[in-house]
């Protein structure tokens, strides 16, 4: 029987009878697992029997989280990592097989940007970046022989820009490469990208997925089976000893795990060796956070709309607002098409103050917190150019279209009136002499 | 039958029953699925033993209980949220229909206080025995209402050890159980059940868990004691709550003839008063148990070395440990404690409160807080803290001196611990030999030299400046001398100004004898004599003089780094000084003497 989203968020992926009837998911705070004998070990390893070998590569609490998120997204499998960046970097490494190109945009989270610019090229993975608002033809022009994937954020960080996911999915599939999306800001509640053609989804679970700012984690979801062409993705067809069957015949991941070859490959070859495993304790926290995903995000969207409306009336302080539902936004159509429940809870605005006044603004906020996170139950404010996108040089910031006066807000669950009053008083203090 | 070291790692847990997880999973859940009505009926009537609701039972907590039970060679165990929960549940459950418990009068402060003042409100009276080592003194207190004898296997803080075997024989003669609080010893050093104890209690917070990171308690029932109906009718009272699967009322005894006590505790006390242990905390205690043998034996070694050091140091007036300072212990210690004598010890030295405070502050490897049995070494002044509920009378009858300092030895290197104590003691005693006196022109060279050692050239006062000060207001010049050598001094001047300008520091600087304020030029202590409290004393001498001569204020300027020091003496900051001495920022500090 298949359940609706709200039901899955509460009970997906976990059966208490498999865990001594414990209603709450136990925290399997263990490094290892006992075996009844070698056969038992081998059949788990070969994927013939459900079980666990070692918590770096698999753990019951973490497995429950993986199953729940896969179900919420309508994917076939998921894999958890110690952080969003681990999820992202391991995925890009796995999809390129260590060599190749990724096509992406210039308007992206600062950490990702630096990874693309600096770290990955040093190990053989190149990025081609187009402007976020490029036409499909402009995107297509950048696809090269060794491009292995298209990668975008479904709602970009920090300015909440949107793109036409279906069009990009079509483009990617025309060239036999997967579309990888970072759905962190939206969460499965606001956007079910697999339904729109995305093949692999990445989350920083740290953000709105968990929603309480109390755990760092990342998740990769594998969508409907993708046709991985052997010529482009030989790593999935190579026969690996670690994927051998019960009779010790080496197998490829496509052979061994036909339903979810990519996540199996990611787990066995990347999670295993780069070791960015998620703690079972943090997995439990994230599971608990997911139980209120719909309620939290819908309330946060309502709050966001009110704060945007307030800022829209402060033209003496606010030079521009970047939020897809804002009437002037060029992404309004895309918002209506893809994000009927709201285009996220994070947006930016231009602050008409100098550096000193920005400092004063930050000093004066009392409810909004000045910290580097988004999607928390608490509302947050940050000056992105200097912080979350601080890795970008002024030139890069310009190319990324992140203006120096950018302030990013992540709206939480507090009373909207209180939030607006906080901004009001902080603006006043920032500009007083 | 496996031995202690094996049991502490493995007893009570079968990974096959927990998805093969090597480590005990943390069943972080409030409830458990019941499955079916049939199963629920069986669970409710004790036909099936599985978890229903974490307040009264949880798989992680069960593993802990089973492990302690195995380590104790006992019939059953119950884990609770704290040691005091374990004590209070035990005392109250045994005396439900009124009655008294007999106990020696030298106990942990919380136990002693609850016994004296709190439990009596609930009908549980405690009869204290003063002559604690004399078995007949206990016998004298037993009457037809006595429901148990309670002792600590190693008492806190004096480390007294009583004859448990004799006490258990006495108790059984009168059909009452012997209850032993085995917290300090842990099952590693002593198995009270072997010597006849019926109920054993632990604060798992202490050496049992061993890492100072969790609060927990455990009650263990040996299974050897027959709780007679006439003495413990509560265990024979039938209630609907305990009904069997056909709906017939039952008593705790009906459910478990061996330990109706534990059934009663879980079904009524844990159920209704709810001091349940968190599964996460149970997990932490299990972790700590893995190393209990190594920890406790090392702690006993360290404690014994510290005791030796203290005994021979000449710094302390008395030391108490299981093997030292308690002559009445020696028989028992030989009999009961062959693996080590415990990690706590206490001592006293003749000193003022101030000295004690400084002594404790100077220690680097001893933490000042209330706990025992941690991996960290701890030190505390019991009379004011852990035994603060006891007034002087109480303390003296309990044989607990008011100057008792208790040490709980941790796992640090004994050498480091001892040299830490030595350093703090030697400084303390040295300060006592420091003479605080005045100065005259014969001291000028020495004073000027010391000033140069402590201040840079542009800040140091000149010999001429000191000469000027000694000539004009010598009563405000105080020196600290050790064996005749000046190791510190303070000099000040009376003034009527609110704040100081740089010219005042020079020879010929402004002063006003009739002024109501005292301005402190400088406070200097030789680097080799610091951290002994000399600066504190010098400052206090100035305060004393100022008050006795009717001055109302003391002012000075200092650098930012010294503001906390002066604030600790009551000075308040009043903004940046105009002084540019030393080319750094100076701040005006002011203390009102009124």
* Cα angle value A374/A379/A380 (rounded, 5°): 55
B128 pLDDT more than 70 = yes
- Residue that has been written with the tokens 């006003």 in this structure: B512
First vs last C-alpha separation in chain B: 74
Q: Which of B20, B25, B30 sits opposite A51 (nearest CB)?
A: B20
- Residue that has been written with the tokens 């604690």 in this structure: B132
Q: Can you give the pLDDT at residue B497?
A: 83
Q: Which residue of B has its CA nearest to A55?
A: B21
Range B378-393 burial, b when 16+ CB lie within 10 A, else e: bbbbbbeebbeebeee
Mean pLDDT, chain A, as a whole number?
91
Mean pLDDT, chain B, as a whole number?
92
Contact B167, B135 (CB under 8 A): yes
Burial of A415 per CB tally in 10 Å (0-12, 13-18, 19+): exposed
Chain A residues within an 8 Å CB radius of B17: 20
What is the rounded radius of gyration, in angstroms, for the C-alpha atoms of chain A? 22
Which pairing describes strands B76-80 and B99-104: parallel, antiparallel, or unpaired?
unpaired
Chain A residues within an 8 Å CB radius of B29: 22-26
Q: Can you give the pLDDT at residue A253?
A: 95
Chain B residues within an 8 Å CB radius of A52: 19-21
Q: Which residue of A has its CA nearest to B59?
A: A20
pLDDT digits (tens, 9 = 90+) for A128-139: 999 989 999 999
Contact B364, B420 (CB under 8 A): yes
In angstroms, the separation between the Cα of residue A359 and the nearest Cα of chain B is 25
Contact A159, A308 (CB under 8 A): no
Tokens of B406: 């208790």
- Residue B558 β-bridge partners: B587
Tokens of A87: 């999820």
Tokens of B418: 């001892």
- C-alpha distances out from residue B534 to A164, B358, B523, B553, B568, Å: 76, 11, 10, 22, 15
Q: Is the CB of B27 less than 8 angstroms away from the CB of A26?
A: yes
Tokens of B407: 């040490």
pLDDT digits (tens, 9 = 90+) for B138-179: 999 999 999 999 999 999 999 999 999 999 999 999 999 999
DSSP states of A95-116: HHTTSEEEEEESSS-HHHHHII
Interface contact A17, partner B, CB < 8 A:
yes
Tokens of A218: 């990342």
Chain A residues within an 8 Å CB radius of B284: none
What are φ and ψ of residue B274, in 5° steps?
60, 35
Chain B residues within an 8 Å CB radius of A22: 27, 29, 32-33, 51, 59
In angstroms, the separation between the Cα of residue A7 and the nearest Cα of chain B is 18
Q: Is the CB of B28 less than 8 angstroms away from the CB of A51?
A: no
Interface contact A246, partner B, CB < 8 A:
no
Interface contact A18, partner B, CB < 8 A:
yes
What are φ and ψ of residue B558, in 5° steps?
-150, 165
First vs last C-alpha separation in chain A: 65
In angstroms, the separation between the Cα of residue A281 and the nearest Cα of chain B is 9
In angstroms, the separation between the Cα of residue B19 and the nearest Cα of chain A is 7
Interface contact B35, partner A, CB < 8 A:
yes
pLDDT digits (tens, 9 = 90+) for B385-427: 888 778 888 888 888 898 899 999 999 999 999 999 999 999 9
Chain A residues within an 8 Å CB radius of B16: 34, 36
pLDDT digits (tens, 9 = 90+) for A79-109: 999 999 889 989 999 999 878 999 999 877 7
The interface predicted TM-score of the complex, written ipTM, equals 0.70
Tokens of A340: 């009927």
Chain B residues within an 8 Å CB radius of A24: 27-31
Q: Can you give the pLDDT at residue B60?
A: 96
Interface contact B59, partner A, CB < 8 A:
yes
Burial of B173 per CB tally in 10 Å (0-12, 13-18, 19+): exposed
DSSP state of A369: B
Contact B507, B468 (CB under 8 A): yes
pLDDT digits (tens, 9 = 90+) for A335-378: 999 999 999 999 999 999 998 899 899 889 999 988 778 898 99
Non-local (6+) Cβ contacts of B568 within 8 A are: none
Of A165, A122, A282, which is closest to residue A214 (Cα–Cα)? A282
- d(CA B406, CA B343) in angstroms, rounded, equals 10
Interface contact B583, partner A, CB < 8 A:
no
Q: Is the CB of B27 less than 8 angstroms away from the CB of A33?
A: no
In angstroms, the separation between the Cα of residue B6 and the nearest Cα of chain A is 18
Q: Which of A22, A31, A34 sits opposite B32 (nearest CB)?
A: A22
Question: Which of A49-63, B499-513, B547-561 is the least confident region?
Answer: B499-513
What are φ and ψ of residue B504, in 5° steps?
-65, -25
Non-local (6+) Cβ contacts of B371 within 8 A are: B205, B206, B212, B378, B408
Range A280-294 burial, b when 16+ CB lie within 10 A, else e: bebbbbbbbbbebbb
Interface contact A27, partner B, CB < 8 A:
yes
Residue B80: which H helix or E strand, with range? strand B76-80
- C-alpha distances out from residue A287 to A70, A209, A218, B18, Å: 13, 9, 12, 20
Q: Which residue has the higher pLDDT, A207 or A391?
A: A207
Interface contact A145, partner B, CB < 8 A:
no
Question: Which of A119-123, A166-170, B110-114, B193-197 is the least confident region?
Answer: A119-123
Interface of B with A in 258-317 (CB under 8 A): 280, 283
Helix (H, G, I), strand (E, B) or coil at B525: strand
Q: Can you give the pLDDT at residue B278?
A: 87
Of B128, B132, B193, which is closest to residue B165 (Cα–Cα)? B193
Chain A residues within an 8 Å CB radius of B281: none
Return the percentage of chain B with pLDDT > 90, whole number: 70
- d(CA A112, CA A100) in angstroms, rounded, equals 17
For the range B489-492, what are the long-range contacts, defined as Cβ-Cβ under 8 Å and sequence gap of 24 or more? B489/B439, B489/B447, B489/B450, B489/B524, B489/B538, B490/B520, B490/B522, B490/B523, B490/B524, B490/B538, B490/B539, B490/B541, B490/B542, B491/B466, B491/B520, B491/B521, B491/B522, B492/B518, B492/B519, B492/B520, B492/B521, B492/B542, B492/B554
In angstroms, the separation between the Cα of residue B259 and the nearest Cα of chain A is 26
Tokens of B174: 């009168």
Tokens of B472: 């004009």
Residue A426's pLDDT band, with cuts at 50, 70 and 90, is very high
Q: Is the CB of B27 less than 8 angstroms away from the CB of A284?
A: no
In angstroms, the separation between the Cα of residue A273 and the nearest Cα of chain B is 22
Q: Is the CB of B27 less than 8 angstroms away from the CB of A36?
A: no
- CA B84 to chain CA mean position, Å: 15
Interface contact B25, partner A, CB < 8 A:
yes
Helix (H, G, I), strand (E, B) or coil at B373: coil
B578 pLDDT more than 80 = no
Interface contact B30, partner A, CB < 8 A:
yes
Interface contact B50, partner A, CB < 8 A:
yes
Length of chain B: 594
Quote the pTM value: 0.81
Q: Is the CB of A22 less than 8 angstroms away from the CB of B23?
A: no
Of A242, A219, A284, which is closest to residue B279 (Cα–Cα)? A284
Which pairing describes strands A346-351 and B146-152: parallel, antiparallel, or unpaired?
unpaired
Interface contact B31, partner A, CB < 8 A:
yes
Residue B582's pLDDT band, with cuts at 50, 70 and 90, is low
- Residue B557 β-bridge partners: B588
Contact A168, A150 (CB under 8 A): yes
B478 pLDDT more than 90 = yes
Average the pLDDT over A281-303 and give the result.
93
pLDDT digits (tens, 9 = 90+) for B327-386: 888 888 989 998 999 999 999 998 988 888 889 888 999 988 888 999 999 999 888 888
Residue A30's pLDDT band, with cuts at 50, 70 and 90, is confident
Helix A416-431 to helix A355-364 angle (10° resolution) is: 140
Q: Is the CB of A29 less than 8 angstroms away from the CB of B16?
A: no
Q: Is the CB of A17 less than 8 angstroms away from the CB of B35?
A: yes
- d(CA B576, CA B559) in angstroms, rounded, equals 10
B10, B23, B25: best to mutate for the A interface, most A CBs within 10 A: B25
Tokens of B67: 């492990």
B13, B20, B49: best to mutate for the A interface, most A CBs within 10 A: B20
- Residue that has been written with the tokens 């009837």 in this structure: A21
Tokens of B421: 């104590």
Q: Is the CB of B28 less than 8 angstroms away from the CB of A25?
A: yes
A111 pLDDT more than 90 = no
Interface of B with A in 401-440 (CB under 8 A): none
Q: Can you give the pLDDT at residue A365?
A: 92
Of A211, A215, A212, A150, which is closest to residue A177 (Cα–Cα)? A150
Chain B residues within an 8 Å CB radius of A31: 22-23
Tokens of A189: 């509640």
- d(CA B555, CA A296) in angstroms, rounded, equals 58
Chain B residues within an 8 Å CB radius of A51: 20
Which pairing describes strands A200-204 and A179-182: parallel, antiparallel, or unpaired?
parallel
- CA B337 to chain CA mean position, Å: 23
Burial of B453 per CB tally in 10 Å (0-12, 13-18, 19+): exposed
B498 pLDDT more than 80 = no
Q: Can you give the pLDDT at residue A214?
A: 87
Q: Is the CB of B16 less than 8 angstroms away from the CB of A32?
A: no
In angstroms, the separation between the Cα of residue A20 and the nearest Cα of chain B is 7
Non-local (6+) Cβ contacts of B442 within 8 A are: none
Non-local (6+) Cβ contacts of B339 within 8 A are: B188, B189, B297, B300
Range A303-329 burial, b when 16+ CB lie within 10 A, else e: bbbebbebbeeeeebbebbbbbbbeeb
A391 pLDDT more than 80 = no
**Could you tell me the strand order of the sheet in which A406-410 lies?**
A318-322, A346-351, A406-410, A380-382
pLDDT digits (tens, 9 = 90+) for B261-312: 999 999 999 888 888 898 999 999 999 999 999 999 999 999 999 999 999 9
Q: Can you give the pLDDT at residue B583?
A: 67
- CA B6 to chain CA mean position, Å: 31
Q: Can you give the pLDDT at residue B384?
A: 80
Chain A residues within an 8 Å CB radius of B21: 28, 30, 33-34, 52, 60
- d(CA A56, CA A32) in angstroms, rounded, equals 9
Residue B581's pLDDT band, with cuts at 50, 70 and 90, is low
Interface contact A41, partner B, CB < 8 A:
no
Q: Is the CB of A22 less than 8 angstroms away from the CB of B59?
A: yes
């Amino acid at each position: 029987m298949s359940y609706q989203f709200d039901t899955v968020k509460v009970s997906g992926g976990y059966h208490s009878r498999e865990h001594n009837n414990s209603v709450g998911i136990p925290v399997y705070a263990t490094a290892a697992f006992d075996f009844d004998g070698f056969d038992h070990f081998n059949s788990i390893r070969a994927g013939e029997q459900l079980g666990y070998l070692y918590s770096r590569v698999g753990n019951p609490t973490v497995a429950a989280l993986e199953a729940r998120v896969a179900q919420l997204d309508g994917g076939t499998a998921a894999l958890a990592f110690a952080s969003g960046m681990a999820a992202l970097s391991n995925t890009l490494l796995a999809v390129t097989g260590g060599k190749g190109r990724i096509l992406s945009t210039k308007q992206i989270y600062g950490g990702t940007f630096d990874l693309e610019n600096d770290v990955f090229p040093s190990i053989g993975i190149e990025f081609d970046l187009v402007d976020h608002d490029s036409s499909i033809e402009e995107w297509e022009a950048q696809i090269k022989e060794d491009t292995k994937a298209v990668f975008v954020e479904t709602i970009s960080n920090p300015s909440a820009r949107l793109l036409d996911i279906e069009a990009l999915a079509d483009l990617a599939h025309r060239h036999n490469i997967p579309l990888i999306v970072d759905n962190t800001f939206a969460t499965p509640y606001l956007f079910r990208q697999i339904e729109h053609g995305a093949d692999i989804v990445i989350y920083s679970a740290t953000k709105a997925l968990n929603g309480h700012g109390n755990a760092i984690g990342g998740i990769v979801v594998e969508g409907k089976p993708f046709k991985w062409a052997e010529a482009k993705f030989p790593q999935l067809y190579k026969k690996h000893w670690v994927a051998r069957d019960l009779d010790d015949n080496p197998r490829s991941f496509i052979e061994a795990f036909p339903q979810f070859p990519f996540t199996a490959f990611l787990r066995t070859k990347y999670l295993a060796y780069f070791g960015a495993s998620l703690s079972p304790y943090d997995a439990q926290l994230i599971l608990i956070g997911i139980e209120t995903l719909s309620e939290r995000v819908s309330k946060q969207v309502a709050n966001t709309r009110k704060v945007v409306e307030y800022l829209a009336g402060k033209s003496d302080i606010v030079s521009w607002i970047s939020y897809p539902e804002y009437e002037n936004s060029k992404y309004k159509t895309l918002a209506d098409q893809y994000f009927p429940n709201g285009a996220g809870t994070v947006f930016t605005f231009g602050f008409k103050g100098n550096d000193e006044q920005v400092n004063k603004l930050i000093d004066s906020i009392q409810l909004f917190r000045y910290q580097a996170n988004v999607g928390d139950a608490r509302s947050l404010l940050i000056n992105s150019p200097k912080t979350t996108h601080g890795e970008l040089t002024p030139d890069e910031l310009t190319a990324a279209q992140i203006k120096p006066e950018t302030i990013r807000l992540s709206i939480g669950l507090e009373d909207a009136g209180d939030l607006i009053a906080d901004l009001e008083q902080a603006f006043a203090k920032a500009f007083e002499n | 039958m496996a031995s202690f070291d094996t049991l502490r790692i493995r007893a009570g847990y079968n990974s096959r029953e927990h998805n093969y997880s090597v480590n005990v999973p943390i069943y972080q859940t409030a409830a458990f699925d019941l499955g079916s009505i049939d199963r629920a009926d069986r669970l409710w009537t004790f036909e099936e033993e599985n978890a229903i609701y974490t307040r009264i039972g949880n798989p992680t907590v069960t593993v802990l209980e089973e492990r302690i039970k195995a380590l104790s060679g006992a019939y059953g165990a119950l884990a609770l949220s704290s040691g005091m929960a374990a004590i209070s549940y035990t005392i109250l459950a045994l005396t439900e229909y009124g009655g008294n418990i007999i106990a020696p009068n030298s106990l942990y402060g919380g136990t002693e206080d609850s016994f004296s003042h709190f439990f009596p409100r609930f009908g549980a009276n405690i009869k204290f025995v003063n002559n604690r080592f004399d078995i007949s003194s206990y016998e004298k207190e037993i009457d037809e209402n006595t429901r148990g004898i309670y002792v600590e296997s190693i008492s806190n803080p004096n480390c007294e050890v009583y004859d448990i075997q004799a006490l258990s024989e006495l108790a059984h003669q009168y059909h009452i159980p012997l209850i032993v609080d085995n917290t300090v010893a842990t099952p590693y050093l002593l198995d009270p059940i072997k010597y006849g104890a019926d109920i054993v209690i632990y604060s798992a917070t202490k050496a049992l868990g061993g890492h100072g990171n969790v609060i927990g308690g455990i009650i263990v029932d040996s299974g050897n004691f027959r709780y007679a109906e006439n003495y413990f009718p509560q265990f024979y009272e039938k209630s609907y709550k305990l009904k069997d699967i056909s709906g017939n009322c039952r008593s705790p005894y009906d459910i478990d003839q061996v330990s109706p006590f534990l059934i009663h505790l879980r079904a009524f006390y844990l159920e209704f008063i709810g001091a349940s242990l968190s599964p996460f905390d149970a997990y932490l205690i299990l972790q700590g148990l893995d190393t209990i043998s190594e920890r406790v034996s090392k702690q006993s070694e360290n404690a014994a070395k510290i005791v030796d050091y203290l005994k021979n140091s000449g710094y302390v007036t008395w030391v108490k440990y299981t093997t030292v300072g308690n002559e009445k212990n020696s028989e028992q210690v030989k009999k009961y404690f062959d693996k080590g004598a415990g990690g706590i010890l206490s001592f006293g030295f003749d000193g003022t409160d101030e000295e004690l405070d400084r002594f404790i502050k100077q220690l680097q490897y001893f933490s000042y807080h209330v706990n025992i049995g941690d991996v960290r070494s701890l030190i505390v002044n019991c009379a004011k803290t852990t035994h603060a509920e006891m007034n002087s009378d109480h303390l003296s009858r309990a044989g607990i001196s008011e100057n008792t300092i208790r040490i709980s030895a941790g796992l640090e290197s004994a050498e480091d611990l001892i040299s830490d104590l030595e350093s703090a003691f030697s400084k303390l005693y040295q300060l006592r030999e420091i003479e605080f006196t005045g100065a005259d022109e014969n001291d000028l060279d020495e004073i000027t030299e010391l000033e140069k050692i402590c201040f840079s050239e542009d800040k140091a006062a000149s010999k001429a400046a000191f000469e000027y000060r000694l000539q004009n207001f010598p009563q405000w010049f105080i020196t600290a001398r050790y064996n005749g050598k000046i190791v510190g001094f303070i000099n000040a001047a009376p003034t009527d100004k609110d704040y100081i300008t740089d010219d005042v520091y020079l020879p010929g600087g402004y002063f006003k004898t009739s002024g109501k304020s005292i301005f402190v030029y400088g406070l200097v202590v030789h680097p080799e004599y610091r951290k002994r409290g000399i600066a504190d004393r010098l400052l206090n001498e100035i305060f004393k003089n100022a008050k006795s001569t009717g001055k109302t204020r003391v002012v000075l300027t200092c650098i930012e780094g010294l503001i906390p020091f002066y604030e600790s003496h009551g000075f308040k900051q009043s903004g940046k000084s105009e002084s540019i001495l030393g080319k750094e920022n100076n701040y005006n500090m002011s203390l009102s003497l009124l």
